[in-house]
Structure 1
């Protein structure tokens, strides 16, 4: 018998594919109060006109839209055809790739890599492998930001009446993986300041030597 938690982990792409229109309606607005300060930190660390890779870009709103408004050049990757189609229609001057972030290798490097509430839908083991994906897409000095949980484990939710899978490594595991991938200046802060059970926002930078 298939484990329901494992099944939910495998079903994430299908879930967002079936409900692409619902997701787009839910997020067709402005940055929320929790995410805004962190994304502003990310943008402030990038050079003018930076090239940014958004892993799990969704429909492009509100985050891609906001980043483009900061003058950045976006490349977005998402595994949902419906969500990528929305990005292409809304922002045709930027680049959109239908692909799975796991094992991704675009053969290019960016000033910034963002995985905002996207890689946390992967299993902890798949997230461990993402450190190498992040690193190989960063230019020397490039900035990474992604979201994890407060501790190792699985958290199940419900969205559109279906199971919604989230997982996290332990903070020590995230840090060790990033260090092993050659990333430096690693920081972990709570999404909601002062909340011990809050999601964690991780930032790191690729060293200047290659």
Structure 2
């Protein structure tokens, strides 16, 4: 499925307008974002990995006085972030190559990490560790079990992958994070499998 994985960025680039409309402004993630914010200091710095168009997740974090740095490989998505929130930092970059040489109070990778193949996902936990300040929170979504799946978006194949849940837990531990909360297929949040961990 390597070829499908390589197409993910292009799909979001080509369909940025449609994705913005389809995603909409409904914030089902609010309870989880509030749990994430509760672990952060006032006016925290937050790194949003795979930030998309900045709405509604980054928008909510901005409203909660977060100082945002967003990264996405689709320049069309980053352009929308820059238009919406010009006072924050938005970078066009492959998440696998992020090396900002600074640390953040929080890191979010919502519905982004799972577009990477398994080995690339494993490497991202080093990236989390490299960018996490002492006590930082990290929150991300995964699949409910190990495997690869190819769905569709606007008629194009859209790749997803997941590691085993025990492996995610081990990777967090090995990179200095303790799991604070973890729910598999949360029925209150679109059946997302969600991880919230904190740097020890």
Q: TM-score, normalised by structure 1?
A: 0.90
Match of 1:49 among 7, 22, 43: 43
Distance in structure 1 (CA, Å) of the matches to 2:152 and 2:87: 35
Indicate if the aligned counterparts of 2:72 and 2:78 stay in contact, CA closer than 8 A. yes
Shift of 1:194: 9.1
The correspondence for 1:21, drawn from 17, 20, 24, is 17
Which residue is 1:179 aligned to?
A: 173
Q: Is this contact kept in 2: 1:119–1:147, CA < 8 A?
A: yes
1:130-209 → structure 2 map (5 Å cutoff): 130-193=124-187, 198-207=191-200
Deviation at residue 144 of structure 1 after TM alignment: 0.3
State the alpha-carbon separation in 2 of the partners of residues 96 and 86 from structure 1. Answer: 10
8 Å Cα contact 1:103/1:130 also seen in 2: no
1:37 alignment counterpart: 31
The alignment covers a number of residue pairs equal to 199
**Gapped regions of structure 1 (runs ≥ 5):** none
Please state how far the C-alpha of 1:58 moved relative to its aligned partner: 0.5
Q: CA distance change for structure 1 residues 193 and 30 in 2, over 3 Å: closer, same or farther?
A: closer
In 2, the alpha carbon distance for the partners of 1:111 and 1:191 equals 26
CA distance in 2, matches of 1:194, 1:171: 20
Relative distance call for 1:175 and 1:73 in structure 2 (3 A) is same
| Aligned mates of 2:188, 2:83 — CA distance in 1 | 39
Secondary structure of the residue that 1:102 maps to in structure 2?
helix
**What is the rounded CA distance, in whole Å, between the counterparts of 2:145 and 2:180 in structure 1?**
17
Change (3 A) 1:172 1:70: same
- Among 6, 10, 22, the alignment partner of 1:10 is 6
Unaligned runs of 5+ in 2: none
The answer as to whether partners of 1:186 and 1:204 remain within 8 angstroms in 2 is yes
Q: TM-score, normalised by structure 2?
A: 0.94
My pick for the range that moved more, 22-31 or 72-81, is 22-31
Q: Larger % of helix: which? A: 2
